[in-house]
Amino acid sequence: MDEPPPPTTLFLLRHGEIDRPPVAQFDDAVLTERGREQVHGMALRWKHRTPDVIYCSPLPRSVETASICAAVFRRPIRTVHELEEWAATEQDVPQDEYKDLERKSWADFDFQNDSGESLNHATVRIASALTEITERHAGRPVMVAGHAILFALFIAQVQGRRATEAAKDEIPFGSHSVVEFQGQFRVMGNWVL
């Protein structure tokens, strides 16, 4: 009897702490010194299998997070546009106005931002991207450096529940969660620093 293939392991890593500008459009935000230390410390304490490759979104905070891990693990980085953060608006609006739009989106997953993407669309986008990554690296460990909203949407979908803003807010900067894929995704643990 043939052994089933080993599962593909995804290490979902939220980027480190960032400098938040006074307006909501912070695509260019980079890690703070504390954020760099969070990610570097996490990588040095790593107790899992070393990932074969580190995927990240094209946003600087994600690339910087992946680069720190790549230096510690001595692994390559691949940037994937579909991993880019979802935003309630692409406009430069004050944080209070942004949070109002984000709350509206959490209340109605079909509410579309100004680029036409709802949280339902974002859930499909992140699930498709992570499925493609697992298929490309069947049976292997892979790290994905990314963003809390997308990870909260994905984890909730895997667990068969609705994502919430509170669940997103509970994902600490520089923390990781382990998800395995063997025919279906399965969350193996909570967010660990």
Q: How far apart are CA 163 and CA 109, in angstroms?
A: 9
**Which residue bears the tokens 């608006």?**
89
Fold exhibited by the domain 17-142: Rossmann fold (3.40.50)
Q: Is the pLDDT of residue 25 over 70?
A: no
Instruction: Report which of 36, 92, 43 is spatially closest to residue 72, judged by C-alpha positions.
Output: 43
Q: How far apart are CA 141 and CA 107, in angstroms?
A: 35
Domain spans of the chain? 17-142
Mean pLDDT of 37-52: 98
pTM: 0.96
Q: Please tell me the predicted confidence (pLDDT) of residue 24.
A: 64
Q: How far apart are CA 119 and CA 133, in angstroms?
A: 21
Q: Please tell me the predicted confidence (pLDDT) of residue 95.
A: 83
Q: Please tell me the predicted confidence (pLDDT) of residue 110.
A: 97
Q: How far apart are CA 152 and CA 19, in angstroms?
A: 21
- Which residue spans within 3-93 are E strands per DSSP? 8-14, 54-56, 77-79
Q: How far apart are CA 73 and CA 166, in angstroms?
A: 32
Of 18-27, 46-55, 103-112, 166-175, least confident by mean pLDDT is 18-27
Under 8 Å between Cβ of 175 and 16 = no
The pLDDT mean for the chain works out to 95
Q: Please tell me the predicted confidence (pLDDT) of residue 20.
A: 78
Give the pLDDT band (50/70/90) at residue 164: very high
